[in-house]
Structure 1
Amino acid sequence: MLTASAASRPAVRIPALLFSVAVAGSLIGFTWEHAVYRGSGGTQEEWSPPDLTTEVAASPRGWVRTPAEEAILQRTLVHFPPYPKASRPEALAADYLGPGAPMAVAWFSTEDSPKQVLEHYAQALLAKGFPVLRQSHGENGGYVGYWSPATEEVRLVSTLAQGGETLVFVSAGQVGPMLERAAAVPEWLPVPPGLQETRTVNFHLEGASHHVVTGWLQEGAPDAAAERYLAQLRAKGWTVGTPEPVAPSGVAFEVVRDTVSGRALLRERAPGPGVELHLTLLRRSVAP
């Protein structure tokens, strides 16, 4: 559900539901991270939001919230303290991931930088004793949050620099059930031979689709597995970036082909032996 006010507030300068999928992608990454590296407290970049500039029409500032919007705000904002010097929080979307994967997203804006917002909430969470999970996408944004074992819920503050301000998206959701009902890997998407326990989650929206693929390989170390996968991708016409080390014990690289771009991450499986694969892709539709 995308709320009416969220679709018409003047500060939302990206397609709101598509960015909600970006938030969902972060949630999926956190869920997988927690399942494989339970209690490690570390995370790596899984997906970066696309550069979007679509304008959304303005609405009167005196918009009255509906009971449904108030419920979304309660589900999200209750986990984080209010941010100083911010606009009034508004409901954005809820429960768009399907049955069994409840999720709610609210948003507000501020003139502070994404770095300032993320540091504020990181310190607030640390003060409460939460194990903070965070990732920065440079000057343009990032996210900070934590996993709640009691409710099996991931709670995030995601930021995006846009139009001279910072858009802040506060979310709480459970996406573990989506991994349990994972779909088949799309035929156009190459994965390493012998990939086991493959799980795929596909989000389809107007203008784009987001794909998350996970699994593991029995043989080799991350570097050797990455070298074989890079050769496979090149042979199928993909452009790949320079591999870079990531912690703990992994390697990652960018992948691009036509309207598809994303990131592949391979690292030691815990518990081992084996190599874990985590692939995230954004596929943009081509206008006829």
Structure 2
Amino acid sequence: MNKREMALFEAVGRTGSVTLAAAATGMSQPAASAMLKSLEDKLGFALFSREKRRLALTAEARMLLPEIVHALAAMDNAERVAASMRGGAHARLDVGAVAAVGASILPGAMAWLQAREPGVRVSVRTDMTLGVAGLAADQRIDIGIVIGSAALPNVGQRTLARLSLQAVMPAGHALARRHRLALADLADIPYISLSRHLQVGALTARQFEQERLPFLPVIEVNQYSAACAFAERGLGVAILDSMSGLYARRHGLRVVPVDVEGGLNLDIVWPLNRGLGRVARQLEAGLVHELSHTTE
């Protein structure tokens, strides 16, 4: 098995989806399906079975997966060491982040880092919260930035900020001049939500239920950027988190805080047995600096 095959196998095992695994490994869905079929032929046994619209690991695959995870971690560590040797004094930092953070506060934090660590080389991987936490658990990143709970063994976690729900809409929308909104203000108009299997989408649905309002989004999507694009075209008000709200503001959309009781944490995660290194701590400081300069 080569590294690309192992990475795809691990991603399918983690997500239960060829489509999500293909996106995580930078492949097309047909190419990923073909590679998995070739890998099964090479190994001589099936790796997955379909259960309730998800791919489940076979007994053989469950035995193989821990070895694959350890092998990938060892390869990544070897590449990190080799890169450090090639670069002499130049540091390297492997970062994991949820996509909304990658498009909001991470660029500014990277600028902060590079100003203080000239020549640092950075690798950034985007994934969902549990995927980023999994990379930290497997020691494949030095630091991760996640939204919501990511409790896993061998993963350190610290909260940077508390995030709220925000309503995203065009500047000309009837609600755009409001300074704050209640969920009841959104219940009778078309609104867009993130999917309920994502932590922000689950929080949104839970808040509607707690206020005894029907949760009936006109569009439910997996990507915050798609939600913003739909809102921009007037298809509905997008209900997103604060990080996605920063992205929306930068694209000319109006963002209004939504008053709800709950929220989600913006956390950093790291391999617990390795700790946060000096360069990772500099990036954390950059994230804190960026957060201090953002407003709702």
Return the TM-score normalized by structure 2.
0.24
Between Structure 1 and Structure 2, the one with more helix by share is: 2
Between Structure 1 and Structure 2, the one with more strand by share is: 1
Return the TM-score normalized by structure 1.
0.25
